[in-house]
Amino acid sequence: MHALSARLKVQKGNFSLDVEVNFLKEITGIFGPSGSGKTTLMHLISGLEKPDEGHIEIDDSLILDTSKNWNLKSRKRKIGYVFQEGRLFPHMTVQKNLLFGSIYADKDQQNIHFDEVVDLLEIRGLLEKRPKSLSGGEKQRVAIGRALLSAPKLLLMDEPFSSLDVALRRQIIPYLIRINKKLGIPMLVVSHDLPDLLSLTQELFLLRNGRVEGHGNYFDLIQSEKSLEIMRGAGLMNVIPFKVELHDVENGLTHLINRDASHEIHVERELINDCCKVGDELNVSLRPEDIAITLNEISDISIRNQLKGNITKIIKKENRTYCLVDVGFLLIVSITQASQQKMNLAVGTEVYCLFKSMALQINI
């Protein structure tokens, strides 16, 4: 069942948006370059803007239908909107901010309690503070908590990564995953940063010039030339779910194993920190440029991670060649056209994908 389905059309000066989207109960990413209409789409869904034509349903209840002249106001839509800048009320303490919307929420629909939200987002120490004295990440967590306490059926997140500096931006991810899993609230996350978005979800909608240019699983999307073209400039990324298999304390390595236990990779323990126990699941990100391809396994080399697979697709863009290699899961590898020609790589060729463990990024 769809958590939200929407058909929306709007003309704003030279820009027009014309989209049809269906989102599931999980986390869905909306990716697009700036100016692609991401924020307009969010505003239309939340009711902050009105479309020229449109139809929106959430959980099968009608929110908007311009043909029937039906347009539920923002405040009645039960959609939590977490703005890019947080927009915490500066004249209220964190606690008052959090409770702002709860007095308007139906008591029987409020399945999340104040204490639960405060603990989930780890903001108990901030309750008496003013927004002014909070860090970017703290502000964002409070803004999420405030939206949750208004008992929303859906959570919209506008660029949750971009208001934070690089070192902190991914800290928000585990909170978002926890909210979705524990509270079962569907989430739409808008971002122009593909690697960050991918570390949160692989279900994507691609938006360009106000049109949906593709949607579905990331690995299905990269097989289409048009989708690849849109995502290419934003930093393609391999995101692979792994499980911690064992900590090899003696060699300072952690062994990770993929879902069907067909592959094992080794990473430096420092990368994992101490936060992961054996059996914990985590996402590993790997840039396509950081993978090398060889035709044979190489034994006298320091690189330990060598995954065997077959090339399933080759896509040429300018002077780069993207090879999709099925090593049990899909890997995107970016090489030069010269290498591809010299090695005579084609669909079906058996290859080994090599990468240093330092090239891996771990998202807990």
Residue ranges in contact with another protein by CB under 8 A: 46-48, 73-77, 79-81, 83, 85, 87, 89-91, 100-101, 104-105, 146-147, 150
Closest contact distance (angstroms) between CB of 331 and another protein is 40
- Where do we find the tokens 């034994």? 299
CB of 193 to another protein, least distance (A): 22
Report the residue number, 49 or 264, with the smaller CB distance to another protein: 49
Work out how close the CB of 71 gets to another protein at its nearest, in angstroms, rounded to a whole number: 14
| Two structure tokens written together for 203 | 């279900």
Between 92 and 343, CB nearer to another protein? 92
Judged by beta carbon, residue 154 or residue 221, the one nearer another protein is 154
Going 166 to 170 to 24 to 240, the CA torsion angle's sign is positive
Nearest approach, Cβ of 29 to another protein (angstroms)? 21
Of 226, 236, 146, 233, nearest in space to 197 by CA = 236
CB of 77 to another protein, least distance (A): 8
Shortest reach from residue 91's CB to another protein, in Å:
5
- Of 84, 90, 77, the residue nearest 49 (C-alpha): 77
For residues 46 and 199, which CB has a smaller minimum distance to another protein in the complex? 46
Distance (Å, whole) CA 148 – CA 91: 20
Quote the tokens at residue 311: 């090339």
Element of type H or E holding 118: helix 114-120
Nearer to another protein, 87 or 313 (CB): 87
Q: Among residues 87 and 308, whose Cβ is nearest to another protein? A: 87
* Residue 181: alpha-carbon gap to chain centroid: 14
Q: Of the two residues 153 and 304, which places its CB atom closer to another protein in the complex?
A: 153
**DSSP letter string, 47-112:** TSS--SEEEEEETTEEEEEGGGTEE--GGGS-EEEE-TT----TTS-HHHHHHTTTTTS-GGG--S
**The tokens of 111 are what?**
């399945």
First vs last Cα of the chain: how many Å apart? 29
Give me the residue label for tokens 């990770």.
256
Contact between 185 and 154 under an 8 Å Cβ cutoff? The reply is yes
Q: Shortest approach of another protein to residue 83 CB, angstroms?
A: 6
Nearer to another protein, 47 or 51 (CB): 47
Give least dist CB 7 to another protein, A: 21
Q: Are strands 61-65 and 70-71 parallel, antiparallel or unpaired?
A: antiparallel
